[in-house]
């Protein structure tokens, strides 16, 4: 019985290793050497014209997560900051789980891969204010400092990121024992 099962599995594996030549066998284009090369899909660069579409796309991705009431997104360059609204009475561990789910959903999107997610109510209010000002035609570059502060509050300061300050070199003294010489 074991031998028959091994033979069937081996045949199934070998059948899957064959080369297909039928029409529509793959979505790539055949290369001169007979191999199929797939075209890599990369997202369009974010421009002023499609920034609104990217923002709405990322907001809708996050709004689809259970227990997320609303989401606000601001996109600057290749970075997005997403504020999520959840129930204020929710336990902190549950909020962290929802934030993780939002980050996971954004990670799978080519535009959301460089996103920061926050559930802080204060930061969410600040993001909404920035978003409204952008909608009213204010330049995005004017909010760079404010967004830098928001991102700074989201990302903790890690000890390994801090480089120690170098002490200035001690002045060289001719006297080896560092005694001050006085002329009397």
Model confidence, pTM: 0.58
Tell me the average pLDDT across 55-65.
92
pLDDT in tens, 162-177: 566 666 666 665 555 5
pLDDT in tens, 65-87: 999 999 999 888 788 889 999 98
Q: Where are the alpha helices (DSSP H) in the chain?
A: 2-16, 51-63, 92-107, 121-135, 144-154
Share of the chain above pLDDT 90, in %: 16
Q: CA-CA distance, 178 to 184, in Å (whole number)?
A: 18
Residue 160: pLDDT above 90? no
Residue 45's pLDDT is: 67
3-state secondary structure of 36: strand
């Amino acid at each position: 019985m074991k031998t028959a099962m091994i033979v069937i599995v081996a045949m199934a594996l070998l059948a899957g290793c064959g080369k297909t030549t039928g029409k529509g066998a793959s979505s790539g284009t055949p290369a001169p050497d007979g191999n199929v090369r797939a075209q890599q899909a990369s997202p369009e660069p974010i421009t002023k014209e499609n920034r609104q579409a990217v923002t709405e796309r990322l907001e809708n991705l996050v709004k689809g997560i259970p227990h997320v009431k609303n989401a606000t997104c601001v996109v600057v360059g290749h970075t997005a900051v997403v504020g999520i609204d959840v129930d204020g009475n929710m336990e902190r561990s549950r909020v962290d789980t929802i934030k993780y789910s939002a980050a996971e959903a954004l990670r799978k999107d080519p535009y959301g891969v460089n996103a920061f997610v926050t559930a802080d109510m204060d930061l969410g209010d600040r993001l909404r204010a920035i978003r409204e000002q952008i909608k009213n035609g204010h330049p995005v570059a004017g909010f760079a400092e404010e967004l830098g502060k928001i991102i700074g509050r989201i990302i903790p300061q890690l000890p390994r990121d801090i480089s120690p300050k170098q002490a200035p070199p001690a002045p060289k003294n001719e006297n080896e024992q560092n005694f001050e010489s006085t002329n009397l």
